[in-house]
Amino acid sequence: MYEYYRKTRRWIIAIYAIIIAAICLGILIGPRLKIIDDNPSPSAPSENAQGTEPAENAPGAEPAPGAPSESAPGGEYIASPAPAEGETKRYVYQNLEIELTNVLYDRTETMLDNGGGEWRYVVISCRPGAALTVVRADMSDPAYAEDGLAHPQWAILVDPADPSKSIRLTDGMEPVEITPEMRGVYNLESSLYVFRFELSEGEG
C-alpha cells in the first residue's frame, strides 16, 4: 500500500513539472510570436516605399499635369518647349497712339536726322501674326487744309523705293497685320521713323 502511494506521488509531481514547464515555455515564446506577427507582410509593401514606383510613374498610368510627354533614349525626359507668347502694348508719340499685339520686347535706338542731330525711335520686336491698331491717328487739322479735310501725317513704310505703297494711318481704319516687308511707322513730312518693326520667333 505504501508503495502505491509513492508511485502515485511521483506521477503527480511529474505532471506538475510538465505543466510548469509548459507555462514557462509559453511565457518565453509568446512575445516572440507577437513581434513576428507585427511585421508587415512582404507581399504588401507600404505606399511610396523606397524601390517602388509612384502611381504617376507606373506603367500604363496617365502622366501627371505638367509632366514631360516625350522621352529620350535611356529613360531621360525632354520637356517640350512652351511657345513664347507676346503681349498687347500701346505706343504713343505726341498725338499718335497705336496698339500692337504679339509684342515680345522693345528697345530705343538712335539715328541722325536731316540736320545731323540725334533722333530717337523705338524698335518693336513682334511675333508673326502681330497686328497694329490705330488708337489715335494724329491727322492734320482740317482748318489748315485747302480742302478743309484732315489728312494723314503718319504711315507704315512698306517699300522704301516706292513710298506710294505706304499704308497711311487714319482714324477708324481696320487693324493691319505686320508683315516682314513693313519697316515701321514714319512721319510723311520729315520721313523720320518713330517706330520700327522686326519680326522674331524667339523671346526677348
C-alpha–C-alpha distance, residues 3 and 198, integer Å: 125
pLDDT at 89: 97
DSSP 19-61: HHHHHHHHHHHHHHHHHHHHSPPTTSPPTT-TTS--GGGSTTP
CB distance 84 to 117 below 8 Å:
no
CA trace torsion 184, 95, 138, 200 (10° rounding): 20
Residues 160-169 have a mean pLDDT of: 93
CB distance 137 to 96 below 8 Å:
yes
Burial class (CB in 10 A: 0-12, 13-18, 19+), 86: buried
9-68 per-position pLDDT tens digit? 677 777 877 887 767 666 665 544 444 444 444 443 334 343 333 344 433 443 333 333
| CA 88 vs CA 19, 59, 91, 101, 105: distances in Å | 94, 43, 10, 4, 11
| Whether residue 129 has pLDDT greater than 60 | yes
C-alpha–C-alpha distance, residues 187 and 1, integer Å: 143
**pLDDT-based confidence at residue 139 (cuts at 50, 70, 90):** very high
How big is the CA angle at 77 (ends 62 and 67), to the nearest 5 degrees? 40
What is the pLDDT of the chain when averaged over all its residues?
75
Residues 129-148 have a mean pLDDT of: 95
Residues forming a β-bridge with 92: 97
Neighbours of 14 (CB within 10 A): 10
> What percentage of the chain reaches a pLDDT higher than 70?
63
pLDDT at 168: 97
DSSP letter at 202 equals S
pLDDT at 56: 40
**pLDDT-based confidence at residue 202 (cuts at 50, 70, 90):** low
Residues 143-166 have a mean pLDDT of: 93
Burial class (CB in 10 A: 0-12, 13-18, 19+), 63: exposed
pLDDT at 20: 78
CB distance 199 to 127 below 8 Å:
yes
pLDDT at 167: 97
4-16 per-position pLDDT tens digit? 556 666 777 778 7
| Whether residue 80 has pLDDT greater than 50 | no
